[in-house]
Amino acid sequence: MGPRSNRVVELRIPSELGYEKIAREAVASVAYRLDFSEEKIEDIKTAISEACTNAIRYGSGSDARMKVVVILTADEDKLDILIKDPGASGTPPTNVKIPDINGMVEGKHRLGGMGLYIIRELVDEAGFVEAVDEDEGNQFRMVIYRVDDGEKAESEASASDTDNGGTTNE
C-alpha cells in the first residue's frame, strides 16, 4: 500500500468495551503505511479509541450483540474515518464543551464527558454526520491530514463542515 493508493478498510467490532482497541491498532497500521508521523499516529489512535468507546457505550448501549462499524478511507494526503453505531440512545450531542476539571474536582460536575473534546483537539475535522434516515443510527466522521498544511486543511474542513454539519477543529 503506497502513499498514492486509495484504500478502504472496514471493521465490524462487537459493541463491547475493550474492542475499541482493535480499531485503534488497525488505524495505527493504516496510518503508519501512509507515512503519518509518530505523533499523528498517536493522535489518531486516541481519537478513534474515544469515538469507538462513545459508539459502544452510548450508541449501542454496550450490547455486544450489536456492532460498531469503522470505515477507514486512506488517500494520498488524509485519513477519513467513519464510525457507525445503531444509535441506541437517540440523538448524539452536537455541542462540545471544554471539560471543567475544576468543577469535577470540586464535585460540581460529574467525572467524565471528555471524549468528544479530546477527539476534536486531536484531529482536523470531527463531527456527527446528519443521518438521511433516522433508522440509520449515528455516524461520526473524523479526518486527519498526513501533513500539517494549515490553509489547505482549514479550507477543506470548512467545506466539509458546510456539507455535513460537523464541527471543525481550528
Partner 1 sequence: MSDEIQVLVRGEGDAIVIDLVGDVTTFAEEAINQAYQSASDDGAVNIIFNFRENDYINSAGIAILIGVVTEARKRDQKLLMTGLSAHFQKIFRMVGLTQYADLYPSVEEALASLNGEAKT
Q: Is 92 left (phi over 0), alpha (psi -120 to 50) or beta?
A: beta
At closest approach, how far in Å is the CB of 113 from partner 1? Answer: 8
* Residue 19 binding partner 1, by CB under 8 A: yes
Q: Which three cell numbers stand for residue 99?
A: 471539560
* Residue 164 binding partner 1, by CB under 8 A: no
* Residue 43 binding partner 1, by CB under 8 A: yes
Using CB under 8 A, which of 87, 115, 127, 137 touches partner 1?
115
| HSE, side-chain direction, 13 A CA sphere, residue 123 | 31
Residue 72, SS3 per DSSP:
strand
Nearest to 72 by CA among 18, 128, 28: 28
Query: Which one of 76-84, 88-96, 99-107, 156-164 is the stretch in contact with partner 1 (CB under 8 A)?
Result: 99-107
* Residue 108 binding partner 1, by CB under 8 A: no
Residue 78, SS3 per DSSP:
strand
* Residue 49 binding partner 1, by CB under 8 A: yes
Using CB under 8 A, which of 11, 16, 69, 164 touches partner 1?
16
Q: Please say which residue, 122 or 153, places its beta carbon nearer to partner 1.
A: 122
* Residue 99 binding partner 1, by CB under 8 A: yes
Q: Which three cell numbers stand for residue 13?
A: 467490532
Using CB under 8 A, which of 26, 30, 36, 53 touches partner 1?
53
Within 10 Å of residue 39's Cβ, how many Cβ atoms? Answer: 8
Q: Which three cell numbers stand for residue 30?
A: 493504516
| Helix H or strand E segment including 90 | none
* Residue 77 binding partner 1, by CB under 8 A: no
| Contact between 111 and 127 (Cβ < 8 Å) | no
Residues that bind partner 1 (CB under 8 A): 16-21, 24, 39, 42-43, 46, 49-50, 53, 99, 101-102, 104-105, 107, 111-112, 114-115, 117-118, 121
